[in-house]
Amino acid sequence: MSIIFTVPGRISGKERPRFGRGRTYTPAKTAKMEAVVKQFGAAAMMGGPPLEGPLSLEIDIYLSKPKSWSKKKKDETLWATGTPDLDNIAKLIGDALQGTCFANDSQIAALSIMRRYSVTDTEGTVITIRDARKL
């Protein structure tokens, strides 16, 4: 079984936890982004139970090309680099989908993440979750 869904717009990376007045908390920006990803993941699950067993998580990030670039550069450039780091995006998505698409993010046995510029200049992140035993 595969679960595939798209989160429109740009996903931020998971920020470091904050400390204050004797407690640790998740920054508001991270909590908001996790809630958005969780909402789209829950919709893709259509009320079904979280997936079990080892899973493969594929994250394909599509960004729009900067308007300031020349036509030549826009035509030549495919791969995107920069911030946030890909590992921080993967961490945010894994934590957000925990309890919705899978019971625990420790079930992720294979991870693939890619960031490139969109041909259509539409920003979004395509998330695919598969049973790793069937790869």
Whether 2 contacts 58, CB under 8 Å: no
45 and 37 Cβ atoms separated by less than 8 Å: no
Percentage of the chain beyond pLDDT 90 is 70
For the entire predicted model, the pTM comes to: 0.89
Interval 59-101: pLDDT, tens: 999 999 988 989 898 888 889 998 999 999 999 999 999 999 9
59: nearest Cα among 9, 7, 100: 7
Q: Which pLDDT value is given to residue 74? A: 84
